[in-house]
Structures are given as C-alpha cells and as structure tokens.
Structure 1
Amino acid sequence: MLNIVLFGPPGAGKGTQSQKLIAQYNLVHLSTGDLLRAQIAEGTELGLKAKKLMDEGLLVPDEVVIGMIGHALSKNQQAAGFIFDGFPRTVAQAESLDQLLTQHNTKVACMIALEVGEEELVKRLLERGKTSGRVDDQDETKIRRRVQVYNTETAQVAGYYAGQQKFHALNGIGEIEAIYTQICTLIDQHKAADAETPAAATREVQA
C-alpha cells in the first residue's frame, strides 16, 4: 500500500497535485477539508462547529479529525494506497496516523511539502475566493492568519517526518507539470526502496 502525505500551506497547490497523483497511482484522496465540508453541507453538529472554526482560520480539534481519518481508512481497506491532503497538521496527528496505519499493516511512504511564500499564497487564495465560495478565501486577514497557524504549528510536522527520513521539500512555484514530475520522482524512489527491503530481509535470513 502506497501512502503519501502531501504537505504545504493553504494555497500551495496540494489539491491540484493530489488529483494528478490519484490518477497516476490509483490512490484514495483523503482531504480533511473535504471531509469537514461534507459535514458542513449536511448540516451536522460536527459540521456547524467545524464551520465556525474554519471561518475564523482555526484548526479543528485533533480528536475530530483523527476520528474521520480512521473511519475513512476502515471504509477503504482494499485501496492501493492513500494520499493525505492537509493532514496531519500537528505532530500529535502524525503520531496518531502512524498508529492508525500500523493497525492496517501499512505506513507512510513519504511526506512531500510544497513551499510557497506568504505573499504568493495570499494572492492565490484571494483569486480562488472569487469562485470557491469559501469565506476564508475572501478575507486577507483570515488568509494570513491561516498561513501563520501553518507556520507556527503545522510546519513542525516536517521535523517529525524528517526524523524518519521521509521528508522532502519542493518549490511550489512553477509549472504544474514540472512540480508534478518532481513529486512522482520522489514517490517512485520510495516505492523502489520499499520493494527492495523485503528482498534484503529474505537474503539475510537465508544467509
């Protein structure tokens, strides 16, 4: 099973690249934003609480997000793999994700972070806000707050995956196809390394 964490601040291009990777590797897309917005559209209690926090540019509590991810994993046990978009956002979530995946006899292959400067992010999100209908894409103050939350809390997750030799940073500014090619190269390298590991273990046992 191939599990990829696609990382980056709001507006870095995670959604665009996710769709291309899903088609290439036949992955199930798990976006906490999409899961939460689905709850909002249904008008559930969780959705109403989440909407208030999201409109203010704040993060939804870990236990809520982790519960949704665990449910999604259980529903897609026959999947070729998952691409996690916008999750994990904290070290605690990253640790919980590792535990969840271990329970499903799998793990994160790699984390790829798209790096984009704040001014470019603000520009992109305000432009997206013209068509997305999202309140938090239409207010520059809220956008900058979301970026600040990412920089002060979420970016710490990079260190967690760096400690596992799974973190890779890529420039998120440039041609979409060029960025996509770089991502695929990194993923294929991890796939090849994982494929070699069982064989190496077998040779060691036989020796």
Structure 2
Amino acid sequence: MRIVLVGPPGAGKGTQAAFLAGNLSIPHISTGDLFRANISQGTELGKQAKAYMDAGNLVPDEVTIGMAKDRMEQPDAEHGFLLDGFPRNVAQAKALDTMLEAADMKLDAVLDLEVPEDEVVKRIAGRRICRNDSAHVFHVTYSPPKQAGVCDVCGGELYQRDDDSEETVRTRLEVYHTQTEPIIDHYRAQGLVVTISALGKVNEVTDRAMAALRGEHAA
C-alpha cells in the first residue's frame, strides 16, 4: 500500500506511522528522517537543505520533493510506503501526484488522524522533559512524575520546552490549518481520504487505522 499520513501536531503521527508501517511491511518515510539522512550523507540535496537551514530559512519545496522522490525510488519502497510529513502543502501534494503518475503508481489512501484542538494543546503543553536526560519525558496529566517537577528516573528538574508552550502550540496549529490541512481537500476530491479519531490508547488508534485502511483498500 502507498499511504500518506496527515494530522495536526500532537496527533501521534510518528508513533502511528511506525506501527502501521510495521503491520503493513512497508517503509516509514518521514520528512525529518529524509533531512537527517541527506545532510549526514552529504548529498547534493542535503547540502542545499543545510544551507537554507543554517541561514534560518525554510527549505524550498523543490528540495524536499527531490529528497522524497529519491527515497521512494529505493528498492524497499517498490511495493509501498507510508509518507509522514510529506506532502506538507498543496504544491507538494501536486508534485507527488505527478511523480506517482510518471511512475505508473497511485496512492491507496490518505489517512487523516483527527484530534480536537483543545486535546492537541493539552497533549503537547502538558509535556515535561528532564534537564539531565531528554529521553525522560513525563506529562502532567497522562504520565505525571511521582513528585511534581522532579524526574522519577534520575531526580533531575523537569521543564517545559519553549516549543511546547500553549502559545507556540496554537501557532503551530494555525500553520497546520493554513498550509497542511488543505491537502486533505485535495485528496478528498480524489476519493482517497480516510478519517479516523486519534483519541484513545495507541493500540486502539492503530487498530482503528488498520480497519479503516482495509476498508479503503477493499474499496
């Protein structure tokens, strides 16, 4: 299957992408991984991306599209892939349409993870990170530390990252609504969108997604 995963920040896309790709035996292709791989390997596209990033500028669509195209042409993606973070806007979605058409391929589904905005804010703004080890992550509601502000693992101070503040989260949501959400309408016109609730336990959301994808695939 060839799937695009869409959803707002805090919807759990990364977690669900890993589980879904594993269940479907297809590679999980994330924008973050593409950038890191191309930059670390020193590819031409990686050098271009790094130059923009070092200057504090957004990486142009054509660079991101080029990285995605190269990755989708790898042997392990021959029979399918799950795209996470790409396409990020309608221009990228149209470029993907063109790429797939040229390769005589098509998407099977666009999985839209739906989460109420207030829940997104609650999920992200409630995160607390250990200053000693960023791998120690807690949540004031869902996985609180035994002692407020103190890491259960090492006793380090827990803090809220600037990126996780409510103000920043709402700004990220606005960017999602204006730039990324329109791709849902783009793909809905092609009959590809499958929307599921991303509320509940991780395994419940995965089961819901798999059931929806089976239904879409059968259609």
TM-score with structure 1 length normalisation? 0.77
* Range moving further from structure 2, 167-176 or 150-159: 167-176
Rounded to whole Å, the distance in 2 between the matches of 1:85 and 1:189 is: 21
* Range moving further from structure 2, 123-132 or 99-108: 123-132
Q: Does 1:7 align with 2:6?
A: yes
In the other structure, the counterpart of 2:29 is 30
Residue type at the aligned position of 1:50: M
**Kindly tell me: are residues 137 and 35 of structure 1, through their superposed partners in 2, closer, same or farther at Cα, counting changes over 3 Å?**
farther
**Kindly tell me: are residues 64 and 7 of structure 1, through their superposed partners in 2, closer, same or farther at Cα, counting changes over 3 Å?**
same
In the other structure, the counterpart of 1:73 is 72
Cα displacement (A) at 1:20: 0.8
**Alignment check: 8 A CA contact 2:196 2:212 kept:** no
**Alignment check: 8 A CA contact 2:11 2:120 kept:** yes
Cα displacement (A) at 1:42: 6.8
In the other structure, the counterpart of 1:199 is none
Offset from partner CA, 1:21-65 (integer Å, 9 cap, x none): 111111111111222244566784523533635xxxxx6421121
1:129-140 matches, within 5 Å, as 130=129, 131=134, 137-140=163-166
Rounded to whole Å, the distance in 1 between the matches of 2:51 and 2:126 is: 26
**Kindly tell me: are residues 127 and 67 of structure 1, through their superposed partners in 2, closer, same or farther at Cα, counting changes over 3 Å?**
farther
- Corresponding residue SS for 2:73: helix
**Alignment check: 8 A CA contact 1:91 1:157 kept:** yes
Offset from partner CA, 1:67-87 (integer Å, 9 cap, x none): 110111122365321101111
Rounded to whole Å, the distance in 2 between the matches of 1:165 and 1:38 is: 33
In the other structure, the counterpart of 1:165 is 191
Aligned residues: 186
**Alignment check: 8 A CA contact 1:39 1:47 kept:** no
**Alignment check: 8 A CA contact 2:29 2:81 kept:** yes
Unpaired runs of 5+ residues, structure 1, are 54-58, 194-207
More helix by share: 1
Residue type at the aligned position of 2:210: C
Q: What is the root-mean-square deviation of aligned Cα atoms in Å?
A: 2.7
In the other structure, the counterpart of 1:204 is none
Offset from partner CA, 1:170-204 (integer Å, 9 cap, x none): 111112122111211121123333xxxxxxxxxxx
In the other structure, the counterpart of 1:46 is 49
- Corresponding residue SS for 1:99: helix
Residue type at the aligned position of 1:141: E
Q: Does 1:148 align with 2:174?
A: yes
**Kindly tell me: are residues 102 and 177 of structure 1, through their superposed partners in 2, closer, same or farther at Cα, counting changes over 3 Å?**
same
Unpaired runs of 5+ residues, structure 2, are 138-160
In the other structure, the counterpart of 2:88 is 89
**Kindly tell me: are residues 40 and 127 of structure 1, through their superposed partners in 2, closer, same or farther at Cα, counting changes over 3 Å?**
farther
Residue type at the aligned position of 1:163: A
Rounded to whole Å, the distance in 2 between the matches of 1:168 and 1:109 is: 10
